[in-house]
Amino acid sequence: MFGLAPTSSGLPSAQLSLYQAKLQQARREAAQAQAQVQSLEAQTETARQEAAQARNEVHSLEGKGAPRNDATPTLNTRGETTGRLLNTQA
């Protein structure tokens, strides 16, 4: 009678080696993707902070109001506007 020979000689089969190589490649790609996600999350947080600062600045400027160029100028006794020109002659 013939004895059953072991089907595994202790060396990985070609299929197992291929599977392990693909698994390692998938793990590397997953690690790279995770690093990219973390980088993008940090960029997103920075952009959100910058946007919030810009909104605060807009609200601050809106609260101060625009310069009042539409005010009616005051006239002096000669009919000249006051407060707009400086007399540089001394």
In a domain, 44, yes or no: yes
In a domain, 49, yes or no: yes
In a domain, 88, yes or no: no
Q: How many domains does the chain have?
A: 1
In a domain, 47, yes or no: yes
Structural domain including 48 reads: 37-63
Q: Is the pTM of this model over 0.85?
A: no
- Over its length of 90 residues, how does the chain's per-residue pLDDT go in tens digits? 555 555 555 566 989 999 999 999 999 999 999 999 999 999 999 999 999 999 999 989 888 866 666 666 666 666 566 665 555 555
In a domain, 69, yes or no: no
Three-state SS for the chain is CCCCCCCCCCCCCHHHHHHHHHHHHHHHHHHHHHHHHHHHHHHHHHHHHHHHHHHHHHHHHHHHCCCCCCCCCCECCCCCECCCCCCCCC
